[in-house]
Chain A
Amino acid sequence: MRYPAFLQKIADRADVQPVRVLTFTIDGRMVSAREDETILSVARENGISIPTLCHLDGLSERGACRLCIVEIKGSAKLSPSCVTLPRQDMEVITNSERVMDYRRKILELLFTERNHICSVCVSNGHCDLQALTAELGMTHVHYDYLHTKQVVDASHERFSVDHNRCVLCQRCVRVCDEIEGAHTWDVMGRGHLSKVITDLNQPWGESITCTGCGKCVQVCPTGALSEKGKSVAEMTKKRQFLPYLKLMRGAEIT
């Protein structure tokens, strides 16, 4: 029962739509939404851009990159818009100075974590991380670089993984599990030592679950996963398939 009792009788009729619709404001603009849509999807529908990194249409949400944080009036906490549902009359602010500042700093932290030197990267010019710097106006990094030593695994016959470029968004983990159904990728370790692995940390080429479909490579936001034979700036990602696969698998993905 989602309605007060005096309305529920009408709502129980089979021909009445089962999801409520509500209105709220984003950056002062009135928008309407179904109660099961996230703030992020409603904003994008209305042409309001919110930066994201771990989010990808068609995959489950993690709420982990924290770039899509927004302010909600009346709440001191910042909310990740990719996992927050709107409420009637809620007032969302996506572009306050505070939020923009935090987003830039989070992006800077990502750049300090591993090795993101665009000029020698296969994904130069086609990289979500790179695009975010332009979108958020990040001009330089004012924290120290951590320079963690990471490995490159080129044991797979068609693809390679360079952990130096990985931002741990887990898109590969999710697409492999939720769309391909192989669950070859997963994460091991904690904190800054965590790392995506294939199977039980075997070389990718020796993975027995990998089907070689390449979806992980196509969804990877950076040059961490790439096709072999691609040189600097040659790796473009083909993501057109995702919405169709999402439609086909439909209800299973929330």
Chain B
Amino acid sequence: MTIEELQEIGKIEKEKQGGFRHRIHVCVAAGCLSSQSGLVKEALEKEVARRGLESWALVKGVGCLGLCTAGPMVAIEPDGSLYQGVKVSDASDILEALGGAPVYRLDCSSHLPFFTRQKKIVLENSGRIDPESIEDYVAERGYEGLYTALRTTTPTGVVDHVTKSGLRGRGGAGFPTGLKWTAVSKAKSNVKFVICNADEGDPGAFMDRSVLESDPHRVLEGMAIAGFAVGANYGFIYVRAEYPLAVKRIRTAIAKAERLGVLGRNIFNTTFNFDVSVRLGAGAFVCGEETALIASIEGRRGSPRPRPPFPSELGLWGYPTLINNVETFANVPPIIRKGGAWFSSMGTEKSKGTKVFALAGRVNNTGLIEAPMGTTLREIVFDIGGGIKDGRKFKAILTGGPSGGCIPAKFLDMSMDYESLAQVGAIMGSGGIIVMDETSCMVDMAKFFIEFCMSESCGKCVPCRVGTVQIYNLMKRITEGNAKPDDIKLLEELCDLVKSTSLCGLGQTAPNPVLSTMHYFMDEYRAHIDYKICPAGTCQMRPAEEST
């Protein structure tokens, strides 16, 4: 295929859709689907047919529109109206209002700061294209990045672009992507692999799921570009089985990409071949750790092994392997299309580009957002997030899920980037932000996450297997009002032990929520231990009978 042919496909698709005077976009990502957006779409289609408007209005299923809390969402293009909480019975009113004033009772202003303050790169197509149509993706200049990489640059050139862009791994640790790609491209081997880590497991994080559900081709294109850059001809997407819709969409995308010839043999008439297949995870959090993930793909028990050697040297079946997160791959096509300098012009000095955050917890606008690195926490929670629910007082946020830490209110004006977060004892993580208000108990929250780590520990190394149980028991004792004054010391000691001696990232970071809440909210721990009071009123204090 040539670039002209590719652009022709996009042009035809654009003209086809442009022929409709109104395009009704119905969100069909998991959040809205679970509140019956599938039925809403059917109802709209039926209503269009009943009114005989088939050549006039197009009903299209699209990916996530972002404001998941207000689903099902419907957007009307090019009118620009946006509806929230749409029900089946609203179909006829929506069609009635086409071209005129929007239906007032469903209106959700698209001029809200939630929409205007965001900057979208990874999510640029989410909510605009049909995730099951490859033509729709091509119409948005899809696979042009892959063409540029294959036909106008060399593998080294592609790696240079990524290095120059300053992109860092979006899976959590923020390792420079260019450096990782260089390492794999330098490894000497005839066989190499590219793995996309879609085993998203942090409680409260759902950006990888949403990207796969809304724009799967973007990830495939990113993987193919990576394969070309490092010299790999085979890619795996490791998705957790709890994401059935993402699995279905990515499988559809692979089949369509193969049919179009942008995956498979001799892509764009070059000698480059690239195939992708999907592997399902069985719901183990630890399989997000790269060596455990590799073991799981190989068909072994998903437990990590000591590093080094790193997967870039000794990876899948022993071959050099590149592992990146979904969001990292999704950033690659625009970087190649627009150049590394364009990407590095956004963000802070050391954290470039944008980051997708999943806003959850006690915030008004829960959902998926994308903002440039360096946006302050206040802007994210109060402008984009719309403030705290029911006018309560902001207390803290937790980033990075079970491996992260909390950030108290005094750091509200902190810039969200890898370095600043590390400075206050939190991590970027995969981008889940859980907002807590005055009614959330920090001790209880920390207990929840250590319980999560305890049950997700693989059981291989002793500190993580037994240490997390000990920490959990102590936390349980504190929240039940049975703790002894010495327990704080014991807790600190155990946290330090687990952090310093565990084998993999899961254990090494498992005590973080406990440590950071102890650092910023010691008064709450003290209240639980010394006065048997939970200041937030969350914990049910049941002091046991004093034993002698």
Q: Which residues of A contact B (CB under 8 A)?
A: 62-67, 69, 78, 80, 83-84, 102, 105-106, 109-110, 112-113, 142-144, 146, 167-168, 186-187, 189-194
Which of B286, B469, B490, B503 makes the CB contact (< 8 A) with A192? B469
Interface segment among B5-13, B362-370, B393-401, B458-466: the answer is B458-466
Residue contact A64 to B455, C-beta cutoff 8 Å: no
Residue contact B470 to A190, C-beta cutoff 8 Å: no
CA–CA, A102 and B457, complex, Å? 20
Residue contact B466 to A190, C-beta cutoff 8 Å: no
* A64, A112, A143, A187 — most chain B CB neighbours (10 Å): A64
Which of A64, A84, A112, A189 makes the CB contact (< 8 A) with B461? A64
Which of B455, B459, B500, B501 makes the CB contact (< 8 A) with A168? B459
Residue contact A112 to B470, C-beta cutoff 8 Å: yes
Q: Which residues of B438-472 have CB atoms within 8 Å of chain A's CB atoms? A: 454-470
Residue contact A192 to B501, C-beta cutoff 8 Å: no
B contact face: mostly helix, strand, loop, or mixed: helix
Residue contact A191 to B459, C-beta cutoff 8 Å: yes
9 A-B pairs (CB sep. < 8 Å): A64-B461, A106-B462, A109-B462, A142-B490, A143-B470, A144-B470, A168-B459, A190-B456, A194-B465
Residue contact A192 to B460, C-beta cutoff 8 Å: no
Interface size class of B (residues with CB under 8 A): 20 to 34
CA–CA, A213 and B134, complex, Å? 59
B281 → chain A, closest Cβ, in Å?
Answer: 14
Q: Which residues of B contact A (CB under 8 A)?
A: 284, 286, 301, 305-306, 454-470, 473, 490, 493-494, 497, 500-503
Which of A84, A105, A168 makes the CB contact (< 8 A) with B465? A168
Which of B458, B493, B494 makes the CB contact (< 8 A) with A190? B458
Q: Which residue of B lies closest to A188 (CB)?
A: B301
CA–CA, A146 and B306, complex, Å? 28
Q: Which residue of A lies closest to B497 (CB)?
A: A105
CA–CA, A192 and B456, complex, Å? 10
CA–CA, A69 and B499, complex, Å? 13
Query: For residue A191, which residues in chain B have a CB less than 8 angstroms away from its CB?
Result: 454-459, 464-465, 468-469
CA–CA, A63 and B460, complex, Å? 9
Residue contact B457 to A109, C-beta cutoff 8 Å: no
Given A78-B501, A191-B456, are A110 and B462 also a contact pair (CB < 8 Å)?
Answer: yes
A151 → chain B, closest Cβ, in Å?
Answer: 17
Residue contact A190 to B501, C-beta cutoff 8 Å: no
Q: Which residue of A lies closest to B494 (CB)?
A: A143
Residue contact B457 to A190, C-beta cutoff 8 Å: yes
Query: For residue B460, which residues in chain A have a CB less than 8 angstroms away from its CB?
Result: 62, 64
Residue contact B461 to A65, C-beta cutoff 8 Å: yes
CA–CA, A174 and B454, complex, Å? 25
Which of B301, B454, B468, B501 makes the CB contact (< 8 A) with A66? B501
Residue contact A66 to B456, C-beta cutoff 8 Å: no
Q: Which residue of B lies closest to A193 (CB)?
A: B459
